[in-house]
């Protein structure tokens, strides 16, 4: 098992007059969990389906270490996917569902039992999948994705609808898979849902890339400092001269582009005594909503 770099390059998908994905490019590296975020209708599912050959792009490419899914020599061993939690034959047991999929790929029953154990479904393995709870179906989907011991995992909304215990379980599970060197890409329409699970995020809105990078970077771009001095106007001039974006309000100055430590130094250098110096952090969810905008939902 080696992690594969997932690369989306200039991907566009149109359905008739609807552009679901619009010239989208991003990279997903092994060894970390990457969140793929955007509001409902942003184009996440279409992107993930393009990645595994279920949707043919209008233009652009989606590859694993440079190879398109359809050209992979051993797809099940390269990438595991869980794109729909309910795509199981309801009358078949969880174990039989996996045995059928495994047999088609030349994978034996021992591995089926291993992945069932891995996702904590051994006790329920011989029960009808139709009677499984949503959490159990998510686990069965993960077990299916892991059958070929793939280096990459592509999971569509694996946390959606889980109870707190299920969320905690999957969070730890995904982090462990990434720590083993796998590439883990997990979609969600809620940043708060994956915030404690992901190391990096790719955010899309209306089919286009809105941000890719770390969560810290996402927050840093919007962080401001609330600061004030007796001579507010002079403080504002000093900070603006050093590149701060200064907004004056009745309760002081709100400054972007300079951190609190730097503002303290500049004020000291200018002989201004500060009477207020408070870093202001917008909640990550607010940053996310600011990026995807009101018009994000289609
Ligand atoms: N097969 C299709 N035919 C026509 N339009 C489609 C098709 N699949 C998706 N779309 C449209 O493309 C856009 C993106 O849909 P997509 O399902 O990829 O978004 P999403 O981010 O996964 O949203 P959700 O979280 O709601 O699943 C939407 O406007 C959707 O209606």
* Ligand 1 close to Cβ of residue 298 (< 6 A): yes
For position 221, what pLDDT does the model report? 66
Mutate to test the pocket of ligand 1, among 8, 11, 15, 56 (most ligand atoms within 8 A of CB): 15
CA 220 to ligand 1 center in whole angstroms: 31
Question: What is the rounded CA–CA span in Å between residue 3 and residue 16?
Answer: 36
Residue 26 pairs in a beta bridge with: 8
pLDDT of residue 290: 81
Q: Residue 229 in contact with residue 274, Cβ under 8 Å? A: yes
Instruction: Please tell me the predicted confidence (pLDDT) of residue 89.
Output: 81
- φ, ψ at 93 (rounded to 5°): -75, 160
> Residue 281: what pLDDT?
72
Residue 40 CB less than 6 A away from ligand 1: yes
Which residues, at least 6 apart from 249, have a Cβ–Cβ distance to it below 8 Å? none
Are 12 and 22 within 8 A, CB to CB? yes
Q: 20 CB under 6 A from ligand 1?
A: yes
Q: Given CA atoms 7, 202, 34, 97 in this order, what sign does their dihedral have?
A: negative
Q: What's residue 68's pLDDT?
A: 95
Position in ligand 1 atom list of the atom nearest CA 13: 12
41 C-beta closer than 6 A to ligand 1: yes
- Ligand 1 centroid from CA 51, angstroms: 15
| 120: helix, strand or coil | coil
DSSP state, residue 141? H
| 18 Cβ below 6 A of ligand 1 | yes
Give the chain's residues under pLDDT 70: 85-86, 221, 294-298
Q: Which of 11, 17, 45 to mutate to test the pocket of ligand 1 (most atoms within 8 A of CB)?
A: 45
44 C-alpha to ligand 1 centroid (Å): 8
pLDDT of residue 294: 55
In short, whether 214's Cβ falls inside 6 Å of ligand 1 is no
Per the CB < 8 A criterion, the answer to whether 26 and 15 are in contact is no
Sheet holding 18-28, edge to edge: 18-28, 6-15, 59-64, 67-68
Tens of pLDDT, residue by residue over 266-292, are 999 999 999 999 988 777 777 888 888
Question: Whole-prediction pTM value?
Answer: 0.82
- Are 177 and 1 contacting, i.e. CB atoms less than 8 angstroms apart? no
Question: What separation in Å is there between the alpha carbon of 166 and the centre of ligand 1?
Answer: 27
| Burial zone of 178 (CB within 10 Å; 0-12 exposed, 13-18 middle, 19+ buried) | buried
Kindly list the structural domains of the chain, giving each domain's residue range(s) and its CATH number in brackets, ordered by start: 6-219 (3.40.50.300), 224-280 (3.30.70)
């Amino acid at each position: 098992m080696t992690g594969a770099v997932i690369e989306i390059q200039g991907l566009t998908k149109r359905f008739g007059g609807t552009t679901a994905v619009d010239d989208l490019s991003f990279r997903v590296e092994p060894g970390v969990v990457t969140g793929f975020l955007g509001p409902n209708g942003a184009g996440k599912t279409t992107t993930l389906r393009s990645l595994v050959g279920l949707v043919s792009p209008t233009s652009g490419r989606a590859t694993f270490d440079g190879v398109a899914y359809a050209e992979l020599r051993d797809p099940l061993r390269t990438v595991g996917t869980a794109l729909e939690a309910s795509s199981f034959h309801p009358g078949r047991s969880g174990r039989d569902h996996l045995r059928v999929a495994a047999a088609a790929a030349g994978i034996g029953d021992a591995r089926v039992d291993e992945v069932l154990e891995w996702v904590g479904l051994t006790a329920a393995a011989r029960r009808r999948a139709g009677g499984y709870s949503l959490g159990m179906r998510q686990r069965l989907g993960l077990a299916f994705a892991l059958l070929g011991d793939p280096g990459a995992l592509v999971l569509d909304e694996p946390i959606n609808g889980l109870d707190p215990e299920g969320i905690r379980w999957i969070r730890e599970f995904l982090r462990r898979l990434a720590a083993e060197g796998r590439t883990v890409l997990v979609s969600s329409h809620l940043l708060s849902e994956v915030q404690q699970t992901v190391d990096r995020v790719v955010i899309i809105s209306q089919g286009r890339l809105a941000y890719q990078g770390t969560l810290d970077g996402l927050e840093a771009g919007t962080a401001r400092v609330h600061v004030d001095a007796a001579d507010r106007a002079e403080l504002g001039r000093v900070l603006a001269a050093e590149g701060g974006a200064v907004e004056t309000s009745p309760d002081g100055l709100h400054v972007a582009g300079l951190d609190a430590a730097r503002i303290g130094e500049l004020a000291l250098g200018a002989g201004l005594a500060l009477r207020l110096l408070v870093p202001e952090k917008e909640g990550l969810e607010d940053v996310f909503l600011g990026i995807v905008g009101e018009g994000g939902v289609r």
